[in-house]
A and B are shown apart, each in its own frame.
Chain A
Amino acid sequence: MTAHAVDERELQLRRPFVLPGWVARAAVWVPVTAAALWVLVLARNTSAGPAIREPGEFVVTLLDGVTFAGLLFVVASGFTLIFGLMRTVNMAHGSLFLGAAYVAHEIQTNMVGKDANIDARDVSLLAWILPLLAAGAVVALLGLLMQQLLLRWNQGQDLRQALITLAISVIAADQMLAHFGGVAQPLKWPGAVTHFFEIVGERYATSRLFMLGVALVVGALLWLWLNRTRMGMVIRAGVDDQEMVRALGINITLVFAVTFAVGSFLAGVGGVLGGSFAGSVAPGVDGAWLLNSLVVVIIGGLGSVKGAVAGSLLYGMVVALSPAYLPAGYTYYSVIFTFALLAVVLAVRPNGLYGRAE
């Protein structure tokens, strides 16, 4: 046996659960080709229509996907950042999302001076940005508090930490329900961004592009922080080898705390964006956004910011395309496609697109 063959076998041993290459390729390309063919040519009797006949609908659906992906990225990047460095799966991420949306709602209604029937025209740019920053800061503090009190001393016990944050999410959901009630509360975009413009013969909401813009700014800042600052360097090193960073005398507990606060802040920014996007804040959103974050990071790979981008785009596209291109009367099956996306990724890459094995 040649040395090369031995290497190959060793590799197989270390990664014992890998599908044969052709199965993996088929699992990806068959559904992708079928979907593309369907969307481009065959999709008669759907709400959007085949893309070659209805290019406007197609572009609008794609834009829906990309803008929603922006929101997904803001929320999921916080989740994946915390996991990447600390191996903490923060099950309370959705609660931070919802909490921030409620805080922003409180501040915005106070600034606008109305309790109900808030129209976007009443909301100045300041009455949106200030709630955004304040809500982000509040949940960043809450996240930091949670990390310092409940997660700091059991670092490394990932299941225990997941269950602790799960318990917190149960408590938080119940307390928010008690405090804000079961009825949806308004949260609005600033009037300055709620216009429509024309694209390929279709009307499109400016606020969605604004959301994507905010997401791009957040992404750019995150990239600069991780790649161009000393702390970002330490975080990237910590993701690779925490023990080594510690051994080099770097105060990693401080880095942990900052990262947790930033991750929570991102959940908060996502909450304000998501609340404004939906126009209201309601109980149950926390669970939905925990799911969204989970789907994104399972697809993209836990702990990878690059993976969060990829996961957000894929998931956002599936969420936008599947109801638009399902035959009329069957659009309620669209949730199946979320599962199908997850299934394909898990079958081919169990640790996600950019994830690595433990």
Chain B
Amino acid sequence: MSSAGTVSGSGPASRATRLLSARNVVVVAAAGLALLLPLFGSNFFVEFVMTRTMILGIAAATIVFLAAYGGMVSLAQYLLAGVAGFMVGNAVVAQDAWSKGLKLGWNPWVAVLFALGVTTVVAFVLGALASRTTGIYFLMITLTYAVIGYYVFGSITPLSGFGGITGIDPPGLFRDHPVRMYLALVVLSVLVYIAFRVVAVTPFGLALQGIRDDPVRMASLGFNVSLHRALAFTLAGFTAGLAGVFNVWWNGQIDPTSISIGPTLDLLIVAVIGGTLSLEGAWLGAFVFVAANNYLRNLPLVDHIGITEARFNTIVGMLVLLIMILSPDGLAGIIDRVRKGLRRLIQQPPGSGATPAEAAAGSAP
């Protein structure tokens, strides 16, 4: 697996110019656009499409973080978001409310701390158990976690209510203020993005990437391989928990089917669409996924070929299949390829004989 965000090589470039890379400029511009969006975007677009995009983006970014820096493709991230959601639900719903679950009736912010604490502990235990494997084994074990987790919440009804916990209110700061929640999610997305990139260049992150590339060598150098993996998984689990908290606030309810195998795969699909090796791709993939979910029905002709939103999963499956066949690095990989192609076109000295079309054909591998 190639690296996504390894430190760029030492050159004459100063720290400032390195910060001004094309990648960072695009990310800052996108974040600025997202922050200004409520000024001109429609309510539906901001409060529904983009809010959902941000939630899924944060959750998918945890998959990307583990895959790109740790070489671990995790399917347990949606479960961990769900754990946080269930904990918030159990903690905040008041005793006299017409709902189910434990109904502890706590302060919503205390509930958040509690939910994140539980999620982090669960993530550490699951991560420690899975941390001695990587690659395909890790994928299988985390998929098993996800499905067992679904059955745990599905069958232990005191924790999940029969058919879920309803009436979960966000704290007063966000209640009846969907735009505030959206803005908070944008800020959180930016923080998560920066945090993951910063972690990647800390000694811990560098060791993690070393472990991704050669665990045996890192072990012989004295690094605790499984501990690094388990801690990375814990960090990702905590972050997935953040997404889960916002998800349950946004939905107002949570039930076991919302963490079943379907949504679990959806989250992986989001990461795959964006590209499992590119952090930015997580949010890009989330946007494509949510937009497809909401706007596909509006496309002309779609009804005539028998593809309706009722068959959304078929379309998403086809999309993933296509991406995996054409470019396993997802949209980010495609964008990267196009960019490199364009740069080659531009750098082609004039009068060298090759027309742009020939240059493009020549650059194809």
A and B pair up: yes
Residues of A within 8 A of B (CB): 13-14, 16-17, 87, 89, 150, 157-160, 162-164, 166-168, 170-171, 173-175, 178, 287-288, 290-291, 294-295, 297-298, 302, 332-336, 338-339, 342-343, 346-347, 350-351, 358
In the complex formed, the residue of B with least CB distance to A163 is B324
Tier of interface size on chain B: 35 or more
Q: Would you mind naming 7 contact pairs between A and B with Cβ atoms under 8 Å apart?
A: A17-B132, A87-B136, A164-B324, A174-B313, A339-B152, A342-B148, A346-B130
Contacts of B324 in A (CB 8 A): 160, 163-164, 167
Instruction: Give Cα A3–Cα B265 distance, bound, in whole angstroms.
Output: 51
CB within 8 Å for A170 and B265 given contacts A178-B311, A332-B155, A336-B152? yes
Q: Which of B18-26, B83-91, B214-222 contacts A (4 or more CB under 8 A)?
A: B214-222
A170 engages B135 (CB within 8 Å): no
Instruction: Give Cα A351–Cα B137 distance, bound, in whole angstroms.
Output: 8
Q: Counting CB contacts under 8 A, is B268 at the interface?
A: yes
Q: Counting CB contacts under 8 A, is B144 at the interface?
A: yes
Q: Counting CB contacts under 8 A, is B226 at the interface?
A: yes
A351 engages B133 (CB within 8 Å): yes
Q: How many A-B residue pairs have CB under 8 A?
A: 130
Q: Counting CB contacts under 8 A, is B147 at the interface?
A: yes
Contacts of A350 in B (CB 8 A): 132-133, 137
Chain B residues 278-327 with CB under 8 Å of chain A are 310-314, 316-318, 320-321, 324-325
Contacts of A14 in B (CB 8 A): 216
Instruction: Give Cα A168–Cα B155 distance, bound, in whole angstroms.
Output: 28
Chain B residues 133-154 with CB under 8 Å of chain A are 133, 135-137, 139-141, 143-144, 147-148, 151-152
A167 engages B132 (CB within 8 Å): no
A342 engages B317 (CB within 8 Å): no
Contacts of A333 in B (CB 8 A): 155-156
Q: Counting CB contacts under 8 A, is B3 at the interface?
A: no
Q: Counting CB contacts under 8 A, is B170 at the interface?
A: no
> 9 shortest A-B CB distances, which residue pairs?
A171-B317, A16-B219, A170-B317, A174-B313, A350-B132, A167-B320, A287-B261, A291-B147, A167-B321
Interface of B is mostly: helix
Instruction: Give Cα A332–Cα B262 distance, bound, in whole angstroms.
Output: 23
Instruction: Give Cα A163–Cα B265 distance, bound, in whole angstroms.
Output: 10
Instruction: Give Cα A165–Cα B49 distance, bound, in whole angstroms.
Output: 29
Contacts of A174 in B (CB 8 A): 311-314, 317
Q: Counting CB contacts under 8 A, is B360 at the interface?
A: no
Instruction: Give Cα A351–Cα B143 distance, bound, in whole angstroms.
Output: 16
Contacts of B132 in A (CB 8 A): 17, 346, 350
Contacts of A335 in B (CB 8 A): 148, 151-152, 155-156
Instruction: Give Cα A280–Cα B13 distance, bound, in whole angstroms.
Output: 67
A16 engages B148 (CB within 8 Å): no
**Shortest distance in angstroms between B270's beta carbon and chain A's nearest beta carbon?**
13
A166 engages B155 (CB within 8 Å): no
Instruction: Give Cα A298–Cα B142 distance, bound, in whole angstroms.
Output: 11
B225 engages A17 (CB within 8 Å): yes
Instruction: Give Cα A210–Cα B147 distance, bound, in whole angstroms.
Output: 29
Instruction: Give Cα A190–Cα B216 distance, bound, in whole angstroms.
Output: 55
Q: Counting CB contacts under 8 A, is B272 at the interface?
A: yes
B216 engages A16 (CB within 8 Å): yes
Q: Counting CB contacts under 8 A, is B82 at the interface?
A: no
Instruction: Give Cα A121–Cα B228 distance, bound, in whole angstroms.
Output: 60
Contacts of B312 in A (CB 8 A): 174
A170 engages B316 (CB within 8 Å): yes
Q: A164-B321, A168-B321, A335-B156 are in contact. List 15 more A-B contacts (CB 8 A).
A: A13-B220, A14-B216, A89-B136, A159-B73, A160-B328, A164-B325, A166-B265, A166-B268, A170-B314, A287-B260, A287-B262, A288-B147, A291-B143, A298-B140, A350-B133
